[in-house]
Amino acid sequence: MAGQTMIEKILARGAGLEQVNPGQLINVKVDLALGNDITAPVAIKEFLRLGLDRVFDPEKIVLVPDHFTPNRDIAAAEQARQLRSFAEKYGIVHYYEVGRMGVEHALLPEQGLVWPGAIIIGADSHTCTYGALGAFATGVGSTDLAAAMALGEAWFKVPSTIKFEYQGKLPPWVGGKDLILHTIGRIGVDGARYCAMEFGGEAIAQLSMDGRMTMTNMAIEAGGKCGYMEPDQKTLEYLKGRVKREFELYYSDEDARYEKIYRFEVSDLEPQVAFPPSPDNVHPVREAAGIQLDQVVIGSCTNGRLEDLQVAATLLKGRQVHPRVRLLVIPATQQIYREALKQGLLEIFVEAGAAVCTPTCGPCLGGHMGILARGEKALATTNRNFVGRMGHPESEVYLCGPAVAAASAVAGTIVDPREVLD
């Protein structure tokens, strides 16, 4: 029997098979199915067509109104109400209301809903985030979610796996976001299309769980079906006190089959910036130096976690946001918000002249809370910079990590964070 990757082993378990092979079509039992206020209403509409009086398992469905909430307008309010009513009617256990919720992909791991070996589908492309905890997690559409809510199953083509190895020690102010942007810049937005992306090596071992989730979050930006790290001591520490159930740890075999292996030496990696209009248009920060900004956003399922806020606060402490710049800081979950409050981070942001917002996807997808006008430029710790992503089709979004974002908010132009500190 040929060696198996972590993902192949998890999918084999879900399909009830000894072994699965890349390219094989399988039907798997899902451990969790997720929807939000944009994708779930479409799923609910499809689910209702089936005329069922119950979902497959009310404990295994998660509904999070996070995209256009707090409700941006009447239409969004109606969508959010559909989620709420559905959750009530079908007894959905994991429904999270505004004020107690968070951006879904920061929320689920935090709440202990993700465990190693789990099979999770979400009607949101960034569901791939949960691979950082050693799970198989992938984005699907609303109809897939509807089918999973009914049957507890989903069909997949077993992906082939590409391995990414990062050797060396990350320099100060360089983190998970820089690693993943650098990777996407190298392989392109379809460089891992349909594939699983396995991230490993010394530099990954050094990364915190927050940094790892930033990386797996953006697997989709390379076209990946999922991204993952094999669980280690840090994973287990993160899971302690969060995940109550028993779980099995899966690892890739020594002789597992990889379609390709990329190796990166990262000891000299500079902070990275993705230029519009594509996440693979990646340059070292010095090539972006001097680009004048109107708005900076620190938040999202990519970089709205506590470590991201700590990095930003270190740079913003005792400094002022540039008079021309609007800085939005959006803690990704209510718990992160509360922790940032306790640690004094929010005070630092407010004192610096930033607007601190309640958890929402909001500006990341041009939903609300920070839409760009024609010709405006934003620098954001989010994940996509397509045409019109944050507002007007003639506005522009540059992507980066929290250090570059915070430093640039002070400078008013894109800068290397090391320059602000000097």
Partner 1 sequence: MILEGRVHLFGHNVDTDAIIPARYLSAVTAEELAPFCMTDIRPGFADAVQQGDIIVAGKNFGCGSSREHAPLAIKGTGIACVVAHSFARIFYRNAINIGLPILECGEDLTGIMVPEERIRVDLERGEILQLSSGRRFYGAPFPEFMQEIIRSGGLIEYVRRRLEEAPSQE
CB atoms within 10 A of CB 150: 15
Q: Is 92 one of the binding residues for partner 1 (CB under 8 A)? A: no
Q: Is 160 one of the binding residues for partner 1 (CB under 8 A)? A: no
Total residues at interface with partner 1 (CB under 8 A): 52
Which amino acid is it at 253?
D
Q: Is 201 one of the binding residues for partner 1 (CB under 8 A)? A: no
Q: For 200, phi and psi rounded to 5 degrees?
A: -155, -175
Q: Is 21 one of the binding residues for partner 1 (CB under 8 A)? A: no
Q: Is 377 one of the binding residues for partner 1 (CB under 8 A)? A: no
Q: Is 139 one of the binding residues for partner 1 (CB under 8 A)? A: yes
Of 17, 98, 189, 236, which lies in the binding site for partner 1, with binding defined by CB under 8 A? 189
Q: Is 68 one of the binding residues for partner 1 (CB under 8 A)? A: yes
Q: Which is nearer to partner 1, 305 or 384 (CB)?
A: 384
Q: Is 367 one of the binding residues for partner 1 (CB under 8 A)? A: yes
Peptide bond connecting 231 to the previous residue in cis, omega within 30 degrees of 0:
no
CB atoms within 10 A of CB 267: 12
Q: How far apart are CA 339 and CA 379, in angstroms?
A: 25
Q: Which stretch binds partner 1 (CB under 8 A): 199-207, 256-264, 283-291, 379-387?
A: 379-387
Q: How far apart are CA 260 and CA 269, in angstroms?
A: 22
Q: Which two tokens stand for residue 378?
A: 């934003």
Q: For 64, phi and psi rounded to 5 degrees?
A: -130, 110
Q: Which residues contact 270 (CB under 8 A, 6 or more apart)?
A: 171, 174, 178, 284, 285, 286, 416
Q: Is 393 one of the binding residues for partner 1 (CB under 8 A)? A: yes
CB of 391 to partner 1, least distance (A): 8
Q: Is 39 one of the binding residues for partner 1 (CB under 8 A)? A: yes
Q: Which is nearer to partner 1, 194 or 338 (CB)?
A: 194
Q: Is 387 one of the binding residues for partner 1 (CB under 8 A)? A: yes
Q: Is 144 one of the binding residues for partner 1 (CB under 8 A)? A: yes
Tell the burial category of 263 from Cβ atoms under 10 Å away from its Cβ (0-12, 13-18, 19+). exposed
Of 14, 15, 28, 41, which lies in the binding site for partner 1, with binding defined by CB under 8 A? 41
Q: What string of DSSP letters covers 244-298?
A: -S--------TTB--SEEEEEE-TTPPPEEEPTT-TT-EEEGGGGTT-B-SEEEE
Q: Is 146 one of the binding residues for partner 1 (CB under 8 A)? A: yes
Binding site for partner 1 (CB under 8 A): 25, 38-39, 41-42, 45-46, 49-50, 52, 56, 67-68, 73, 75-76, 78-79, 122-125, 127, 139-144, 146-147, 150-152, 155, 189-190, 193-194, 220, 223, 225, 278, 365-367, 384, 386-389, 393
